[in-house]
């Protein structure tokens, strides 16, 4: 059994890690750590876990925590994972961070977009971007994995194969994405109150969202040239789910069937990426609770634009499920272990 620990166990992605690891046959949760909720039992923090009153959330130093585990997961606000990563690195333990602290190759980009100075820039070159469909081989030998952001997971899986194939063009891509409220985490915020969110759809951080440089960095890495995206996220009144609708210039003569054929070939052996048939579009409800991504595409020859669609559950493929997928890779387990569910519907 691999001993795992979760720091940030009182947050939404922490709860999702607990849910997934409780049924993982090769992992044992050895510690759950929190900050303000430390000292409480797990069901006091999350009512779905009544029956597990003996599981307690603790607080301890990074060094003490890494001693107890083989793999540590950090599900913390930006900036807070760095001390844990340093402690894990020095102790020879593995760490998977669900936040943004190790996603950028250059500390200056992180510092500009997140407004924080990076406490361990030397670890950035050790970190591997944890998007298995794009970086599987590197993840397998990583000791520090930077789990991607929820929006970037959806957008990169939709864009990379078609840009590489030259079926869409890199200039003038627009990403219009919607997220459910759990994407904002469990810490109370006025703009996330029911009365603010219910029956309301609105954009936020238009063209300045911090996932923009993350997506651009990976596109540059995969294509060998700079790609700029206009990214407009929206908050929608549902609990889970991301739907990204992407508008991209279409290469001349490319049809819907061409786009879908490229997706099907690129993701032929991917257990978690489902390419839908022509005329069928991804739905957040169809991936709820699962580690799946649904992809769809339409070539609008009339306007010379491709419309690409990707749906995922922000807490699963967008966070904790992808972290378990990465865990399976770094531990040498089958990648789907503990993630076999196709989701809950309706």
Ligand X SMILES: CC(=O)N[C@@H](CCC(=O)OP(=O)(O)O)C(=O)O
Ligand Y SMILES: NC(=O)C1=CN([C@@H]2O[C@H](COP(=O)(O)OP(=O)(O)OC[C@H]3O[C@@H](n4cnc5c(N)ncnc54)[C@H](OP(=O)(O)O)[C@@H]3O)[C@@H](O)[C@H]2O)C=CC1
Residues in contact with ligand Y by CB under 6 A are: 8-14, 34-37, 75-78, 80, 98-99, 149-150, 182-183, 185-187, 314-315, 318-319
How many Å separate Cα 309 from the centre of its chain?
17
Known catalytic membership, residue 30: no
- The single residue listed with the structure tokens 């559950």 is 313
Kindly list the strands in the beta sheet with 229-235, ordered across the sheet, starting from the edge strand earlier in the chain.
202-203, 229-235, 173-179, 242-249, 305-312, 293-300, 273-275
Q: What does 235 bind: ligand X, ligand Y, none (CB cut-off 5 to 8 Å by kind)?
A: ligand X
* Minimum gap (Å) between residue 151 Cβ and ligand Y: 9
Q: Checking DSSP bridges between strand 202-203 and strand 229-235, what pairing results, if any?
A: antiparallel
Please name the residue ranges forming H helices in the chain: 12-21, 42-45, 62-67, 82-91, 107-114, 132-140, 150-165, 194-197, 211-223, 256-266, 321-331
Map residue 277 onto helix, strand or coil.
Answer: coil
Taking CB atoms, the residue at the shortest distance from ligand X is 183
Q: What does 233 bind: ligand Y, ligand X, none (CB cut-off 5 to 8 Å by kind)?
A: ligand X
Task: Rule CB under 6 A: say whether 130 interacts with ligand X.
Answer: no
* Residues in region 174-213 near ligand X by CB under 6 A: 179, 183-184, 210-211
* Minimum gap (Å) between residue 83 Cβ and ligand Y: 9
Alpha-carbon gap, residue 157 to 180, rounded angstroms: 19
Q: What does 325 bind: ligand Y, ligand X, none (CB cut-off 5 to 8 Å by kind)?
A: none
Among residues 55, 285, 58, 246, which one has the least CA distance to residue 163? 246
Alpha-carbon gap, residue 167 to 262, rounded angstroms: 9
Closest to ligand X by CB, 161 vs 180, is 180
Q: What does 35 bind: ligand X, ligand Y, none (CB cut-off 5 to 8 Å by kind)?
A: ligand Y
Among residues 298, 291, 299, 307, which one has the least CA distance to residue 339? 291
Closest to ligand Y by CB, 168 vs 243, is 243
Q: Count residues contacting ligand X (CB under 6 A)?
A: 12
Among residues 291, 277, 284, which one has the least CA distance to residue 335? 291
Contact characters 81-120, ligand X, x per CB under 6 A: ------------------xx--------------------
* Minimum gap (Å) between residue 275 Cβ and ligand X: 25
- The single residue listed with the structure tokens 């739905």 is 283
Contact (Cβ atoms closer than 8 angstroms) between residue 79 and residue 101: yes
Q: Checking DSSP bridges between strand 94-97 and strand 71-74, what pairing results, if any?
A: parallel
* Minimum gap (Å) between residue 344 Cβ and ligand Y: 17
Closest to ligand X by CB, 79 vs 343, is 79
Catalytic one of 2, 139, 142, 150: 150
* Minimum gap (Å) between residue 20 Cβ and ligand Y: 13
* Residues in region 214-243 near ligand X by CB under 6 A: 233, 235
Closest to ligand Y by CB, 7 vs 168, is 7
- Peptide bond just before 346 cis, omega within 30 deg: yes
* Minimum gap (Å) between residue 314 Cβ and ligand Y: 4
Closest to ligand Y by CB, 72 vs 306, is 72
Closest to ligand Y by CB, 34 vs 275, is 34
Q: Catalog residues that contact ligand X under the rule CB under 6 A.
A: 78, 99-100, 149-150, 179, 183-184, 210-211, 233, 235
> What residues act catalytically?
150
């Amino acid at each position: 059994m691999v001993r795992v620990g979760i720091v940030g166990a009182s947050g939404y992605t922490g709860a999702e890690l607990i849910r997934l690891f409780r049924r993982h046959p090769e992992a044992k949760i050895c510690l759950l750590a929190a900050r303000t909720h430390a000292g409480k039992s797990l069901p006091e923090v999350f009512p779905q876990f009544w029956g597990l009153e003996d599981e307690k959330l603790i607080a301890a130093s990074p060094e003490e925590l890494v001693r107890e585990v083989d793999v540590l997961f950090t599900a913390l606000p930006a900036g807070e994972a760095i001390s844990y990563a340093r402690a894990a690195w020095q102790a020879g333990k593995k760490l998977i961070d669900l936040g943004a602290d190790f996603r950028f190759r250059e500390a200056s980009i992180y510092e500009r977009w997140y407004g924080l100075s990076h406490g361990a820039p030397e670890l950035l070159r050790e970190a591997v971007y944890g998007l298995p469909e794009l970086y599987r081989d590197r993840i397998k030998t990583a000791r520090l994995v930077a789990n991607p952001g929820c929006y970037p997971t959806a957008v990169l899986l939709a864009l990379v194969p078609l840009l590489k194939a030259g079926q869409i063009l890199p200039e003038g891509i627009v990403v219009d994405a919607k997220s459910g409220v759990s994407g904002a985490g469990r810490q109370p915020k006025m703009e996330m109150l029911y009365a603010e969110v219910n029956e309301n759809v609105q954009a936020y951080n238009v063209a300045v969202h911090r996932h923009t440089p993350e997506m651009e960095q990976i596109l540059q890495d995969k294509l060998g040239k700079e790609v700029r995206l206009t990214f407009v996220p929206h908050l929608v009144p549902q609990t889970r789910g991301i739907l990204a609708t992407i508008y991209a210039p279409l290469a001349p003569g490319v049809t819907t069937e061409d786009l879908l054929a490229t997706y099907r070939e690129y993701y032929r052996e991917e257990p978690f990426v489902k390419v839908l048939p022509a005329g069928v579009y991804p739905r957040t409800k169809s991936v709820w609770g699962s580690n799946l991504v649904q992809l769809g595409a339409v070539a609008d020859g009339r306007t010379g634009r491709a419309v690409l669609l990707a749906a995922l559950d922000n807490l699963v493929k967008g966070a904790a499920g992808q972290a378990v997928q990465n865990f399976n890779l770094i531990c040498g387990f089958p990648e789907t272990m503990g993630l076999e569910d196709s989701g809950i519907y309706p």
